[in-house]
Amino acid sequence: MNESKSFDVIEEIIKKRGVTSRIFANREILHPDYVPDVLPHREGEIKKLAEILVVSAKGEKPSNVLLYGLTGTGKTVVSKYVVKKLVEKASSIGSNLGYAYVNTRKLDTPYKVLASIASSLGLRIPYTGLAISEVYRKYINALENWSGLHIVILDELDYFVKRNGDDLLYKLLRINEDLSKSRVSIIGITNNLYFVENLDPRVRSSLGEEEIFFPPYNAEQLYTILKQRAEKAFHPGVIDDSVISYCAALAARENGDARRALDLLRVAGEIAERENALVISIEHVKKALAEVEEGRVNQVIATLPLQQKLVLKVAVNLATRKGFTTTGEVYSVYLEEARRRGLEPLSQRSVSQVLSQLDMMGILIAEVRSMGRHGLTKVIKVKEEVAKLVEKALADT
Ligand SMILES: Nc1ncnc2c1ncn2[C@@H]1O[C@H](COP(=O)(O)OP(=O)(O)OP(=O)(O)O)[C@@H](O)[C@H]1O
Ligand SMILES: [Mg+2]
């Protein structure tokens, strides 16, 4: 190929694909970490959280807050939004308000969490090497020198406590006893509705002094959320309201998860772009659904410990074979399977909780049904597409 020919090839690609996207005006807007200026349908939760924190900022005894609700209901985005707004406000009137946001699933040891909290006050803490009590002491000193209210957001707290126990949480919840000039308010966030039940009562009462529940979004609410983002994310005329509605309806069917809805929209846009289309169609959304679904199932499964994978595998096998199964049935087959593999089996209660969690994560469908004089039981079903993805992901388990 001579030089001018290869240049033609590049020219051709640029012409076909465009250097700037024909679909996206600003891709960032659909990124999961993007915090929009307005959060529709969360006015109540925003107000409640702001009120609790404002009281703390006025010097009264700070309350700790627990935010809970299913995945994609806006807990993370609302907490960041409120805290950032309050910090801006405080700095404009010269009052000392600071915050630390820690995703405790990512920073998954007490050391990392505490170091990250302390570093938000400008402390430099090495990655390793100090005793945790030393890091705590440095944080206390920094707080006292600074004197203000420090809001500490501990996101995805259930993962952290499951892994590390509740020692650090307990210490942080009582930190005000060690302080005279500063105060700390903790915002704990979880999407595991059983998390609180399993906490030590002392921790529970202190963390849950105030609680805010985030209900799932319905299709109409998801529509407003998507519409607001789509207007900025795509070029004019690229997406029709009916296509946005379709995304919203699909996501509403699946737990009312706004993250899912936004993912669908973004991936549909990417598919349209790959196919060189000028507009995003329903077909693009259907293709996006398959991609997003596979990604999601694999991601959930990747985080499950072996025993939970086993429970899932058994449940999916039984449910696909017969259309549905029950907790009792899953438990007895799981028990045999665990013993056969030389594993210490989980209790029936734990297995039942694992099944409920898989339901919350949108992998299984668990419904409590009355079986007449046999009492209540959980009926477990799984959607065919999901069953296939689970089987594929668990083939080696
Ligand atoms: N009311 C809303 N308006 C606009 N965007 C929203 C709203 N609620 C959620 N979102 C968006 O949906 C996505 C998911 O929200 P968020 O991360 O806050 O969910 P979450 O409740 O923390 O979920 P998880 O429990 O899985 O962490 C984010 O990209 C967020 O910006
Ligand atoms: Mg979150």
Residue type, 143: L
93 CA → ligand 1 middle, Å: 30
Residue nearest to atom 24 of ligand 1 (CA): 71
What average pLDDT does the segment 67-96 reach?
92
18 CA → ligand 2 middle, Å: 35
Q: Are 147 and 170 members of one domain?
A: yes
**What residues make up the domain containing 163?**
43-214
75 CA → ligand 2 middle, Å: 6
pLDDT attached to residue 19: 61
Main-chain dihedrals φ then ψ at residue 152, nearest 5 degrees: -115, 115
Q: Are 204 and 340 members of one domain?
A: no
Ligand with an atom nearest the CA of residue 190: 1
pTM tops 0.75, yes or no: yes
Sequence-distant (≥ 6) Cβ neighbours of residue 75 within 8 angstroms: 67, 68, 69, 155, 189, 191, 214
What average pLDDT does the segment 193-200 reach?
83
Cβ 187 under 6 angstroms from ligand 1: no
pLDDT attached to residue 182: 93
Nearest to 349 by CA among 367, 323, 336, 330: 330
Query: How far is Cα 225 from Cα 222, in angstroms, rounded to an integer?
Result: 5
pLDDT attached to residue 213: 96
Q: Are 150 and 59 members of one domain?
A: yes
Q: Please tell me the least confidently modeled range out of 41-45, 312-316, 393-397.
A: 393-397
Cβ 222 under 6 angstroms from ligand 1: no
Q: Are 232 and 263 members of one domain?
A: yes
Cα radius of gyration rounded to whole Å, the chain: 24
Q: Are the CB atoms for 377 and 328 separated by under 8 Å? A: yes
Q: Are strands 97-103 and 376-381 parallel, antiparallel or unpaired?
A: unpaired
Helix (H) or strand (E) holding 321, with range, is helix 306-322
Strand partners, 381: 365
Q: Are 353 and 282 members of one domain?
A: no
- Would you say residue 17 lies in a domain? no
Query: How far is Cα 86 from Cα 319, in angstroms, rounded to an integer?
Result: 49
pLDDT attached to residue 5: 66
Q: Which residue out of 104, 244, 259 has the highest number of ligand 1 atoms within 8 Å of its CB and is therefore the one to mutate?
A: 259
- Would you say residue 284 lies in a domain? yes
- Split at pLDDT 50, 70, 90, the class of 140 is very high
Nearest to 174 by CA among 198, 141, 205, 196: 205
- Would you say residue 19 lies in a domain? no
Cβ 330 under 6 angstroms from ligand 1: no
Domain of 313, CATH number, reads 1.10.10.10
Split into its structural domains, the chain has a count of 3
Residue where a domain stops, chosen among 156, 189, 214: 214
Q: Over 70: is that where the pLDDT of 14 sits? A: no
Residue nearest to atom 17 of ligand 1 (CA): 76
Query: How far is Cα 293 from Cα 131, in angstroms, rounded to an integer?
Result: 43
The token pair at 242 is 């009916």
